Amino acid sequence: MSAAPPLLVIAGPTATGKTGLAVDIAERFRADSTPAEVISADSRQVYRGLDIGTAKATVAERRGVPHHGLDLVDPDAGFSVADFAAHVTPVLTDIAARGGLAILAGGTGFYLRAIARGLDLDALPSDAGIRATIEATMAEHGVAPGAARLRSIAPRLAARIDLANPRRVARALEIAEIAGDVALPAARGYGGPVAWLGLDVPRDVHAGWIAARARAQFDAGLIEEARALRDRWDPSLRAFSAIGYAEAWAVLDGEITREAAIERDAARNVAFAKRQRTWFRREPEIEWLDPAARDSHRWAVEQARSLLG
């Protein structure tokens, strides 16, 4: 049995129903006695306690389907794409040993690429001292000066990352300071059959979905979750760059109204979705579908079945 099971990747911008589709597909396979498990590819859902704000699937929403990639570390722990790959590798080996299907679903493009394209993560240099200096500078001055320096010293690297994401900019600067304007890791390929599905909807429809999710998160207790997290952890931690927490804290501090926080949350997610679309346009071989279209889930199941031969 191969160490790499058939892999279905479900990619796309935030709030397009990736997790729901993944669970749907897994349930259909499991009903036919084929092991099918979901691996979340979301760089914020790895943190314990960040549940509502990261749209982490609840136990009920998982509907008995095993999920991986969730609740791996506390918010104050460092977590990289290499850590994600180290978590996922034995999961894939286990699924393969049982003749199952792995479903990798999420919107963190680098996580998806690392697993489904087999990036050579060891090829990226690192230096803890340089990284600490960069992060301290960005904490004081923000992401814009770091992004400007990256564009200056490593334009190729800068063109390949989200320059509004402090974590990505800091890592790219670390690489550039050590090795110059190097290429991103080479893709070594996935060790089994793989298919990529992308979910997206028209922009006006998507904006409505995002707004509805933001309101639902606040209704579900996002402010209370944010309060509990801030009582225990430093709010400046990288984990809390997830959209929603700063907005909830602003409500708690009396800076904005609950309604304004919901609107700000939605606006930030619309901008985030735009950046995700830019990333996924660079990914080859994605079959795109509208999750609101009739029979889209049935078509996705057929794509998954074709992986198993």
pLDDT for the residue 180: 85
Which tokens go with 247?
A: 């907005």
**Mean pLDDT split into 10-residue runs, the chain, 309 residues:** 86 97 96 96 97 98 98 94 95 97 96 94 80 84 90 88 86 86 84 96 97 98 98 95 97 98 98 94 93 87 85
Are both 142 and 247 inside the same structural domain? no
Are both 12 and 110 inside the same structural domain? yes
The total number of structural domains that make up the chain:
3
Residue 2 lies in a domain: no
Residue 213 lies in a domain: yes
Are both 146 and 260 inside the same structural domain? no
Are both 296 and 172 inside the same structural domain? no
Q: What is the CATH number of the domain that holds 214?
A: 1.10.287.890
Sign of CA dihedral 82, 84, 87, 92: negative
Are both 38 and 146 inside the same structural domain? no
pLDDT for the residue 140: 80
CB contact at 8 A, 14 and 273? yes
Task: List the one residue out of 145, 68, 104, 232 whose CA is nearest residue 245.
Answer: 232
Q: In the beta sheet, which residues pair with residue 40?
A: 105
Q: Is 92 exposed, middle or buried (0-12, 13-18, 19+ CB in 10 A)?
A: buried
Are both 96 and 16 inside the same structural domain? yes
Are both 93 and 209 inside the same structural domain? no
Q: How far apart are CA 38 and CA 65, in angstroms?
A: 7
Are both 101 and 244 inside the same structural domain? no
Are both 196 and 213 inside the same structural domain? no
Are both 107 and 165 inside the same structural domain? no
Angle between helices 258-281 and 109-116 (to 10 degrees): 40
Q: What is the CATH number of the domain that holds 194?
A: 3.40.50.300
Are both 171 and 109 inside the same structural domain? no
Taking the C-alpha atoms of 69, 71, 76 and 81 in order, what is their torsion angle to the nearest 10 degrees? 0
Residue 25 lies in a domain: yes
Residue 1 lies in a domain: no
Are both 90 and 149 inside the same structural domain? no
Q: How far apart are CA 16 and CA 198, in angstroms?
A: 9
Coil, strand or helix at 39: strand
pLDDT for the residue 1: 39
Question: 129 is in which domain, residue-wise?
Answer: 125-179
Q: What is the CATH number of the domain that holds 143?
A: 1.10.20.140
CB contact at 8 A, 82 and 123? no
pLDDT for the residue 2: 60
